[in-house]
Amino acid sequence: MKTEGYAEYMIERYILMFGEQRTLELLKAFQKPPVQSLNINTTNTSIEALVERMERKGFHLEPVPWCNTGFWIYDIRGFNKELDMGKVSTFNLSPGATHEYLQGFYSLQGASSMLPPVLLDPKPGDEVLDMAAAPGSKFVQMAQAMKNRGLIVGVERSLERMPALKANVQRCGVTNSVLICNDSRYLGEQFLSFGKILLDAPCTGEGLIGSDPTRKNSRSVGDIETMMNIQVQMLEQAITLLASQGRLVYSTCSMAAEENEHVVTKILNNHKNISVVKPPEDIASMFDHGMQETMGAKFNPALKNAIRIFPYNHETRPEGFFAVILEKT
């Protein structure tokens, strides 16, 4: 079998996890990068104003249906919605170098990665923790939903990634944040408790193969196991910091069940006061749902309420993603 540059174990695992037909669809979708997307910072501008300004600069914006501030970016010249939604445009001016970007009117953000903050649904006045905050697009998305009210704390382990996080926070005018450089696994019980926590955990990142083909063979099965152990530790810490009645969104951009359903099942087994919350039906219906068993492993039945984004779920080929809402009773 031709593996098209994929490490052999990956294709085998995909077939075992998703079946032949879905694996073919997945590999086909991974052959082209996702359509570029942005998230409008509504604390600095309005959606209408930015759409108009971007059009004047040659960018056409099409709404992302699962995030009301999210838009895909196309070259405005000759754009035809019926034909061109899957088209990857090339631009004379990079969307990451416009004056509007520098003014913090938007962040460049993968359409899939807009989903976890939407599921967490932070509101003005909330107290929110982002346990792996850099480079900050989801962090800023949550802060804008909070309208700079309440408190949002971003924790990032890597000192090297802090400048990008801080620059995004400052550029986008987030004024209710605290940024801490620390390993989220070791925040300890003395840290604050939060009503809303986002854990977009570090992962093997298989869902990003469309935009970064080096990931076809840059990870090993051993890496999956390593990441899984880290994810369990981080999620355990998140549960400790979650307030009673609090909501936690766990997400990764990995396709591996070990980093997703397995991690969450382990936590559900360890904590009887944690339950899975059903996501809004209009969002869940756009994607696949979590697996209940694969490769001989059975997961918690409630994981049917987890969301799995496959690049073939939409013609824009969003990055592969997993997200689940957990609640503490």
Partner 1 sequence: MGKKNYETKRPSKDYETKRPSRDYETKRPPKDMKRLFKGDVGVEVKERGFEGESDGEGESIPERESHWIEFANKEQKDLVHQELNQFSNNDEAWQKLVVKGDNNVLLYTKGANTSIYLMPREAKDRFKVLMGNPGLRHFGLYLGNFKGTQFNLSMEGMSELVKAGGVSSNWVKLNEDGEKSFLYGQDIKKEDLQAVSARGITHDRGICIVMNAMGECLGIGKLEADDHTLRRVSDTDVLVSNIVDKGMYLRNQDKT
* Tokens (6 digits) for 34: 């996702």
Q: Which residues have CB under 8 Å from 8's CB, separation 6+?
A: none
- Please select the residue that binds partner 1; options are 7, 47, 88, 151, rule is CB under 8 A: 151
Nearer to partner 1, 19 or 125 (CB): 125
| 93 contributes a contact to partner 1 by CB under 8 A | no
Q: How far is the CB of 192 from partner 1 (least distance, A)?
A: 6
What count of other Cβ atoms lies within 10 Å of the Cβ of residue 76?
16
Rg for the chain (alpha carbons), in Å?
Answer: 19
Residues 6+ apart with CB under 8 A from 22: 310, 312
Q: Does 42 bind partner 1 (CB under 8 A)?
A: no
Nearest CA-CA partner of 247 in 138, 137, 116: 116
Rounded CA separation 24/19 (Å): 9
Minimum Å gap between C-beta 195 and partner 1 is: 11
Q: What is the dihedral of CA 7, 9, 13, 16, to 10 degrees?
A: 120
4 or 160, CB closer to partner 1?
A: 160
Please pick, from the candidates 179, 198, 253, 263, the single residue that binds partner 1 as defined by CB under 8 A. Answer: 179
Among 3, 44, 233, 305, binds partner 1 (CB under 8 A): 44
Among 266, 202, 279, 191, which Cα is nearest to 236's?
266
**156 neighbors 162 (Cβ within 8 angstroms):** yes
Among 31, 175, 214, 240, the residue binding partner 1 under the rule CB under 8 A is 175
Q: Tell me whether residue 233 or residue 294 sits nearer to partner 1 (CB atom).
A: 233
Specify the 3-state DSSP secondary structure of 248.
strand
Residues binding partner 1: what is the number (CB under 8 A)?
A: 40
Does residue number 123 form part of the binding site for partner 1 (CB under 8 A)?
A: no
Q: Which residues of 131-277 form beta strands (DSSP E)?
A: 151-156, 177-181, 194-200, 242-252, 274-277
Restricting to residues 190-209, name those near partner 1 by CB under 8 A.
190-192
- 127, 130, 206, 258: residue in contact with partner 1 (rule CB under 8 A): 127
* Least distance from partner 1 to the Cβ atom of residue 45, Å: 9
Decide: is 163 part of the binding site for partner 1 (CB under 8 A): yes
With contacts defined by CB under 8 A, name the span among 20-28, 179-187, 215-223, 254-262 that binds partner 1.
Answer: 179-187
Give the whole-angstrom CA distance, residue 92 versus residue 180.
37
Residue among 307, 187, 193, 169 at smallest CA distance from 250: 307
Residue 181 is a catalytic residue: no
| Stretch of 54-62, 85-93, 151-159, 241-249 contacting partner 1, by CB under 8 A | 151-159
Tell me the closest approach of the beta carbon of residue 99 to partner 1, in angstroms: 6
Closest CA to 197 of 129, 116, 127: 129
Compute the least distance from the CB of residue 262 to partner 1, in Å.
27
Residue of 4, 160, 212, 315 interacting with partner 1 (CB under 8 A) = 160
Of 327, 303, 288, 238, nearest in space to 112 by CA: 288
68 binds partner 1, rule: CB under 8 A? no
Does residue 148 touch partner 1 according to CB under 8 A?
A: yes
- Output phi, psi for 85, to 5 deg: -60, -30
**What are the φ and ψ backbone dihedral angles of 199, each rounded to 5 degrees?**
-120, 90
Pick between residue 176 and residue 275 the one whose CB is nearest to partner 1.
Answer: 176
What is the nearest approach in angstroms of partner 1 to the Cβ of residue 150?
A: 7
By the criterion CB under 8 A, which residues form the site for partner 1? 44, 96-97, 99, 102-103, 125, 127, 148-151, 153, 155, 157-160, 162-164, 166-167, 169-171, 173, 175-183, 188, 190-192
Active site residues: 253
